[in-house]
Structure 1
Amino acid sequence: MNPFTKIPKFFKNYYFLFGTFFIVWMLLVDSNDVVSQIKMTQKLNGLKAQKAFYIDKKVQVLKDKEELSTNKALLEKFARENYLMKKPSEDLYIVVTED
């Protein structure tokens, strides 16, 4: 008794075998398989989030730039805090706190 006689004729069909092989190949083996597509989608979503963050940051920097170019007192405060600038007649003390 041949063990292949119990297999339905449909599963021995050339087109079914080829179609099954093609689907398995495309889902698991190909360079554009399902796992790669999921990873690339996650990476794309991360990059979109970064893009949104940097666009918001850009808007904030442009707003700060506009404020600094119009307000002299704010410009002086910014220079003193961020660049540690001082007037010639002043002494500058830097206090470092240990966390």
Structure 2
Amino acid sequence: MLNRLLHYLRNFYVASGLGLLAWMTFFDANDLPMQIRNWWKLRELEGEATFYQTQIQKVQTERREVLGNDRLREKYAREKYLMKKPTEDIFVIVDEKNEPIEK
């Protein structure tokens, strides 16, 4: 009788554990497919973060160069934003990639 009760309880716990595993894998709000999507999205966002970190470093380098010198600030404004004095015309020569030839 005790052996049968232990067998019943063991089957109950195994069935309950499998049911809980199935619920958590497929039906829960944080199910396995959602976890996989979140993992891929995290990898994508980490890649974007490294890209933006390099862009920030480039901008900070340009900023240090430009803010230190009035002549460089004027050159930067003319090249990047195509600013000009009212009495002059500016022609920008670009290459195939539509980038200025002289940097």
> Normalising to structure 2: TM-score of the pair?
0.68
Q: Displacement, 1:13?
A: 2.1
Q: Displacement, 1:21?
A: 0.8
Instruction: Name the counterpart of 2:42.
Output: 44
Q: Displacement, 1:94?
A: 7.1
Paired with 1:72 and 1:13, the residues of 2 have a C-alpha distance of 82
Letter in 2 for 1:65: R
Q: Displacement, 1:63?
A: 0.4
Instruction: Name the counterpart of 2:51.
Output: 53
Cα distance change of structure 1 residues 80 and 50 upon mapping to structure 2, 3 Å threshold: same
Q: Displacement, 1:87?
A: 2.6
| Equivalent of residue 32 in structure 1, options 30, 33, 40 | 30
> Normalising to structure 1: TM-score of the pair?
0.70
5 Å-filtered alignment, 1:1-99, equals 13-92=11-90
Paired with 1:63 and 1:94, the residues of 2 have a C-alpha distance of 24
Q: How many percent of aligned residue pairs carry the same amino acid?
A: 37
Paired with 1:25 and 1:88, the residues of 2 have a C-alpha distance of 72
Segments of 5+ residues of structure 1 without an aligned counterpart are 1-8
Aligned residues: 89
Q: Displacement, 1:77?
A: 2.4
Q: Displacement, 1:56?
A: 1.1
Segments of 5+ residues of structure 2 without an aligned counterpart are 1-6, 99-103
CA RMSD of aligned residues (A): 2.7
